[in-house]
Amino acid sequence: MEPLRIDGAEGEGGGQVVRTALGLSLVTGRRIRLVDIRARRGRPGLLRQHLTAVEAAARIGDARVEGARLGSAELDFAPRGIRPGDYSFDVGSAGSVTLVLQTVLPALLAADAPSRLRLFGGTHNPLAPPFDFLARVFVTTIRRMGARVNLELVRHGFFPAGGGEVRAEIHPSPLAPLHLLQRGRVVRRRAEAIVSNLPLSIAERELRVVGWEDAEARPVESAGPGNVVMLHVESEHASELATGFGAKGVPAERVAERALTEAERYLAADVPVGEHLADQLLLPMALAGGGGFRTLPLSSHATTNAALIERFLPVRFLVSGGMVRIEGARGR
């Protein structure tokens, strides 16, 4: 069969196209050919975290692969079957381990035996969902769909040093449709500010800006300096985590303001699903064959993801205002 050709420069055109295509190739057994990978980015082609995702998908899918090298703009990927087991993958930089995990998670949920993963690299990277978002928001939500996933943060890894470790245990789990239409009342708001190899006073200044009663500033160990503010909103029917990452030359107060602005936007919208979770729920809901949720306006990241998923699976995404519905597509 001819491979499904995917233009990596279409739509949002980032690494999400690579990860979603790999994940769906594993689940469906469909050979794919990616071209113009990340063509419009400042550093086009495959970077280390993308290569690690390719390596992970290839090992788990027993795949034949061409083009798996740094900077490659084309990739041919032909899986031969899902192979559960114990795996270890090292990004070798501060590239996100959470994105590598999300690449292979759908396939391992569809496997015929449990798997255990050890992932080394960046756990708290400003260009990817941090471990805490994955554990407290994404995994918490897909567990309601039937997913059996356990995550453990062994060591933090901040950009640019990396050196973090995450462990995951994944059991085969059929996914059921989920309808997230109401957030319900907010039952808890918790603020955390963590620092590594930096003064604790930075985290304390950040929490003063946030001003939430339930707050904790704490140091953590990692290979290099790092700082993140995390604002966790728990409601009756949903969770959200807003983040702000410290950076050289950026005052602590500004870092906190960014996280607080994101959290307040979510709270003001009175929707159960935040912008980033909306993007990440599209694939598991499509695999479940249905469901729906209310959210903020979809990002270009999410609309690109939806269009790609529809090329692999017999589903369609119906978007109206802040409502997203997933339906089986007739005649496909």
CA-based nearest residue to 308, from 1, 12, 2, 3: 12
What is the spatial distance between Cα 72 and Cα 66, in angstroms, rounded to a whole number? Answer: 10
At what angle are helices 275-288 and 300-312 packed, to 10 degrees? 10
CA distance 18 to 6: 9
48-60 vs 97-109: helix crossing angle, rounded to 10: 20
| Cα three-residue angle 271-273-275, rounded to 5 degrees | 105
Q: Alpha-carbon distance 131 to 232, whole Å?
A: 13
**Sheet with 178-180: strands ordered across:** 178-180, 291-294, 323-328, 315-320
Q: Check if the beta carbon of residue 75 is closer than 8 Å to that of residue 65.
A: yes
Q: Determine the Cα–Cα distance for residues 6 and 32; give it in Å rounded to an integer.
A: 7
Cα 81 off chain centre by: 24
209: left (phi over 0), alpha (psi -120 to 50) or beta: alpha
CA distance 237 to 182: 7
* CA proximity to 226, closest of 190, 257, 250, 258: 250
- 179 is a catalytic site residue: no
Q: What are phi and psi of 33, to 5 degrees?
A: -130, 110
What proportions of the chain, in percent to the nearest 5, are helix, strand and coil?
35, 30, 35
Phi and psi (nearest 5°) for 67? 95, 10
Which of 124, 156, 276, 301 is flagged as catalytic?
301
Active site residues: 301
